[in-house]
Amino acid sequence: MPKSKPKTKHKKILRTFKGVVVSDKMDKTVVVAVEILKEHPRYKKRYIVTIRYKAHDEKNQCKKGDKVMIQECRPISKEKRWRVIKIA
C-alpha cells in the first residue's frame, strides 16, 4: 500500500508594486504608473520601462500624484486585476 503524502495548502505569493497614481477620473478605479528597471540582455545597458495598471480603489481615496502600493488580485473587471493596498 503506497504512502499518501500529507496535504499542504500552498499560499500563492501575490505580486506587489509601488507606483504613482496618474489618473483618478474613474469611479473606484485608479491608473497607477509603475517604473521597472530592466537590463538589455546583450549590451547590459539599463533602462526604465513604465507600465500602467488599473487598480481597484474601493473608497475613492487616491488622488492624482499619490504614491501607492498595489497588489495582484482576482479579475475585478475587463482590465482591473490589481488592488490598492496602501497609500503612502
**CATH architecture assignment, domain 16-87:** Beta Barrel (2.40)
Q: How far apart are CA 88 and CA 17, in angstroms?
A: 13
Instruction: List the chain domain ranges.
Output: 16-87
Cell of 65: 500624484
Q: What per-residue confidence (pLDDT) applies to 25? A: 97
Give the chain's end-to-end CA distance (angstroms, integer).
Answer: 57
Span 31-82, pLDDT tens digits: 999 999 999 999 999 999 999 999 999 999 999 999 999 999 999 999 999 9
Give pTM, 2 decimals: 0.83
